[in-house]
């Protein structure tokens, strides 16, 4: 049984927001180990997941954000890679999440992550 499956089983009686937040917190623990631009990542109470997907010219983060109770978007935050690093990240692209189950929302996020990394 995968870690995601175990988390979903243990959280199945929780509300969707709680399920996603706890699962995303676990994912972030693993991602933080390899993340290069941790100090620049978007943070906030409604950003559940923020994964670095930077390229040679831009610093990018793909985020899973809560818009309202049990309503989510996947957003790409980006800024040009410069020596001065004075620009702030800006939301460049948004995908509306139409799924209503934690596992499907995370699958949608993973598909968008592959897309922005050019692996899709």
The per-residue pLDDT for range 16-33, each reduced to its tens digit, is 898 899 889 988 988 888
Residue 77 has pLDDT above 90, yes or no: yes
Q: Which domain holds residue 95?
A: 3-116
**H or E element, residue 26:** helix 16-34
How far is the C-alpha of 70 from the C-alpha of 41, rounded, in Å? 23
Average pLDDT over residues 54-63: 90
Residue 102 has pLDDT above 70, yes or no: yes
pLDDT > 70: what percent of the chain? Answer: 84
Higher pLDDT, 63 or 16: 63
Within the chain, how many helices (H) and strands (E) appear?
Answer: 3, 4
Domain count for the chain, please give it: 1
Contact call for residues 63 and 52 (beta carbons, < 8 A): no
């Amino acid at each position: 049984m995968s870690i995601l499956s175990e988390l979903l089983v243990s959280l199945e009686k929780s509300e969707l927001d709680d399920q996603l937040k706890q699962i995303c917190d676990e994912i972030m623990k693993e991602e933080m180990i390899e993340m290069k631009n941790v100090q620049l990542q978007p943070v906030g109470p409604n950003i559940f997941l923020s994964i670095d997907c930077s390229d040679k010219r831009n610093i990018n983060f793909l985020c899973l954000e809560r818009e309202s109770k049990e309503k989510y978007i996947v957003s790409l935050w980006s800024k040009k890679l410069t020596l001065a690093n004075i620009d702030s990240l800006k939301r460049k692209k948004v995908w509306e999440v139409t799924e209503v189950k934690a596992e499907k929302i995370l699958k949608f996020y993973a598909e968008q992550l592959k897309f922005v990394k050019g692996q899709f």
